[in-house]
């Protein structure tokens, strides 16, 4: 039951903290449900015993001459039942004790958290090593569309190094520049070199005109349908040489490019041309 519920709650990418928290919460919820069932059964048993004792009292009317025999027999039976229950239970299981310190339980929970963290880390490493196909456009005033394959765990800087190697035979300015002087612009945001594709994917990062976590190609969401609505469509990011950007940043489309900030929520465009 725990594994089934956990799999449903962790479909897709989640952070390590969410992964561990969901596992612990589901386990705690199941334990509480089981405890409630046990308490309900014990309560029903107690009510049944109470009803039996009431019936015995009614039957044992002290005005009858043979009451003493009935009463004594009932008292002896009840006493034996109580003693048996004491031996079986030892302590009242209906009393709430989860708030009390329990070193053994705390140690088990901590061990479970550590195990889940390690499991989460292993799963994320597998995801980071998955191949990722990226369609991009080298932009020097006009677009030169290309496609390249990297890993999801690669940084933007590593991606641009691979792009430089791919474009160098064809474009002299790319061949003679450094990776630090290449920019990757996605959804009108210049993404700094230290960010990784994995980071953009797991955080479902968004730009001004679409998601930063899709790297295939669609029509420009700013020019079709109702662009004020949230869409998962994206268009090819641009690779730009820094010197070209500094020279043309006052001219469209470079005039609307900004540095990507993961803490900032960007407003979507309505309708623009490209």
CATH of the domain at 180: 3.10.20.90
At 238, give phi and psi (nearest 5°).
Answer: -110, 140
Q: Per the domain annotation, does 48 fall within a domain?
A: no
Q: Model pTM?
A: 0.55
**Do 255 and 149 share a domain, yes or no?**
yes
Residue 231 has pLDDT above 70, yes or no: no
183 pairs with which residues across the strands? 240
State residue 28's pLDDT score: 80
Query: Which residue range is the domain that position 248 belongs to?
Result: 131-216+234-259
Q: Per the domain annotation, does 148 fall within a domain?
A: yes
Please count the structural domains in the chain: 2
One DSSP character per residue, 45-93 reads HHHHHHHHHHHHHHH--TTSTTHHHHHHHHHHHHHHHHHHHHHHHSS-T
State residue 185's pLDDT score: 93
Helix (H) or strand (E) holding 194: none
The answer to whether 132 touches 149, Cβ cutoff 8 Å, is yes
Q: Per the domain annotation, does 226 fall within a domain?
A: no
Q: Per the domain annotation, does 23 fall within a domain?
A: yes
Q: Per the domain annotation, does 116 fall within a domain?
A: no
Sheet harboring 131-139: ordered strands across?
143-151, 131-139, 237-241, 182-186, 189-190, 258-259
Q: Per the domain annotation, does 272 fall within a domain?
A: no
**Could you tell me the pLDDT band of residue 156, with boundaries at 50, 70 and 90?**
very high
- Over residues 30-54, mean pLDDT: 82
State residue 78's pLDDT score: 60
* Candidate from 62-71, 159-168, 258-267 with smallest mean pLDDT: 62-71
**Could you tell me the pLDDT band of residue 97, with boundaries at 50, 70 and 90?**
low
Q: Per the domain annotation, does 161 fall within a domain?
A: yes
Q: Per the domain annotation, does 112 fall within a domain?
A: no
């Amino acid at each position: 039951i725990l594994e089934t519920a956990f799999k449903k709650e962790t479909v897709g990418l989640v952070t390590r903290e969410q992964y561990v928290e969901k596992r612990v919460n589901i386990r705690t919820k199941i334990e509480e449900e089981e405890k409630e069932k046990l308490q309900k059964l014990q309560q029903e048993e107690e009510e049944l015993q109470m009803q039996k004792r009431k019936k015995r009292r009614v039957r044992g009317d002290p005005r009858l001459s043979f009451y003493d025999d009935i009463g004594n027999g009932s008292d002896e039976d009840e006493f034996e039942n109580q003693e048996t229950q004491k031996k079986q239970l030892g302590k009242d299981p209906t009393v709430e004790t989860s708030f009390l310190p329990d070193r053994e339980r705390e140690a088990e929970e901590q061990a479970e958290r550590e195990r889940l963290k390690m499991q989460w880390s292993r799963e994320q490493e597998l995801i980071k090593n998955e191949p990722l196909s990226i369609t991009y456009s080298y932009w020097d005033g006009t677009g030169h569309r290309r496609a390249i394959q990297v890993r999801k765990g690669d940084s933007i800087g590593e991606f641009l190094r691979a792009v430089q190697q791919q474009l160098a035979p064809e474009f002299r300015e790319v061949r003679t520049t450094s990776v630090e002087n290449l920019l990757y612009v996605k959804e009108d945001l210049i993404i700094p070199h230290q960010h990784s594709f994995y980071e953009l994917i797991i955080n479902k990062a968004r730009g001004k005109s679409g998601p930063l976590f899709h790297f295939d190609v669609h029509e420009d969401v700013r020019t079709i349908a109702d662009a004020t609505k949230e869409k998962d469509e994206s268009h090819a990011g641009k690779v730009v040489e820094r010197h070209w950007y500094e020279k043309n940043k006052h001219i469209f489309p470079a005039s609307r490019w900004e540095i990507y900030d993961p803490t900032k929520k960007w407003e979507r465009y309505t309708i623009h041309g490209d």
